[in-house]
Amino acid sequence: MTIDWKKEVEQRQDALLEDLKELLCVKSEREDDKVTPDAPFGPGPRDGLLKMLSFGERDGFTVKNVDNYAGHIEFGEGDETLGIFGHMDVVPAGDGWDTDPYEPVIKDGKIYARGSSDDKGPSMAAYYAMKIIKELNLPLSKKIRFVVGSDEESGWGDMDYYFEHEARPDFGFSPDAEFPIINGEKGNISLLVHTPVSNEGEYQLIDFKSGLRPNMVPGTATAVIEVPQDQVDTIKTALEAFVEANPVTASITEAANQLTIELVGKGAHGAHPSAGINAGTYLALFLNEYDFKAGAKNFLQVAAEYLHLDLEGEKLQIAYNDEKMGELTMNASLFSFEKDQKEATVNLNIRYPQGTTEVELKQGLADSIGQFDVTVTEEPHHMTPHYVPVEDPLVATLLAVYEDHTGEKGYEQIIGGGTYGRLLERGVAYGAMFPGYTDTMHQANEFMELDDLFRSAVIFADAIYRLAK
């Protein structure tokens, strides 16, 4: 049977786009202060989940909501289940948008909104691929289950809960990365560096904040300081010179013998720290030139001298490179120093290849910055490296589909990002971004090319059918 998948997608393009717009209007950011029994990650992720499940109900699929943590949309019969994993939660929109991040705008062949490329756009493309197969009533030998998550950008508590109540699919993919395929993912661990909070002398660090999520390069940073009055103008002049010499912008205000410095860099996905400009380490670099003492000095010195621009962990003595998986990357993602607290913290989100371990990472930190009176703890949800061999029939089939529809040679890829593909022993990430795409995930003005949205739906439809027929 020959099926014109491109034609089938073209007939549904308008409907796909309208459903996607509805989904993008949901502000599905995790908000822990708004958690309720029926909204385990806050109202936004719940509402995004419910909206996606409502499309499955409308279109006649079997739909199940697992206590607003996650859910699935399913059809077909068979002893095996093909799983497709998407997520409706998004990282915080942050600053710097040219348009409202939750009012999707189509301009120059792109749809702009938070979640357009990560992961609502790709999820909708995969859902419509599944919908086409159902509407064509094609013969299947396996179940097809679209698992919809709501906490992928934070702790994956959605999937922990889901798999306590539902069986795990036998194999599958997540449309949450790029083509040709992602069949390997580095380990992902967040280590918290704790330093005591204390101030001595005339320079006082009152507050230092930077970062929104462990998996985001912090695009902004703010510090409140007290300094000798005769140094205020000197610091203002120095900040102007610092901005001239570095890829950041800044502002400074004075009130009640305190200076508030706000510094702006560039946010990016934490798996690609080189794509961002870390406002937290740049602000620490500036403040480290002044005569802060005790805990405040330790906090600033670690950030400025050991974390700033050390994206591979060389200064931290954790650098590692694997021939297949590549090098370790490190993102200093969350900074918190408050004068009235006992401890200050910096979250180091580390993506590491096979060949090193969390024990070695912690030891490296202890050896390199232990003299600054630091302690190191591990955040929950540590993920070890994941790899599915290119010879596996799942990988081989997906690469063949990509080659057939693009005319380009498929190849395996290993990334620092973590996708739901690693939830399955035989799980990968597949699309929806094509080689050469502009990566705006976790950044202001996130977008997805409409041509890529529809092309990916074509590839997903053929791939799902080949895997499940």
Handedness of CA 20, 26, 32, 37 (dihedral sign): negative
**Which listed residue (89, 158, 178, 452) is catalytic?**
89
Active site residue 358: no
Strand partners, 204: 226
d(CA 455, CA 125): 9
Strand partners, 225: 205, 259
> b or e along 1-24 (b: 16 or more beta carbons within 10 Å of the residue's beta carbon)?
eeeebbebbeebeeebbebbbbbb
Contact 379, 361 (CB under 8 A): no
Calculate helix-pair angle for 13-24, 43-58, nearest 10 degrees.
160
Q: Which helix (H) or strand (E) holds 429?
A: strand 427-429
**Segments of 353-426 assigned E as strands:** 375-378, 386-387, 414-415
- DSSP category for residue 445: T
Strand partners, 264: 220, 249
**Which listed residue (8, 19, 119, 152) is catalytic?**
152
- The Cα-based distances of 45 to 42, 90, 178, 274 in angstroms read 6, 8, 24, 29
d(CA 171, CA 393): 10
d(CA 128, CA 460): 9
d(CA 252, CA 243): 12
Active site residue 153: no
Residues belonging to the active site: 89, 152
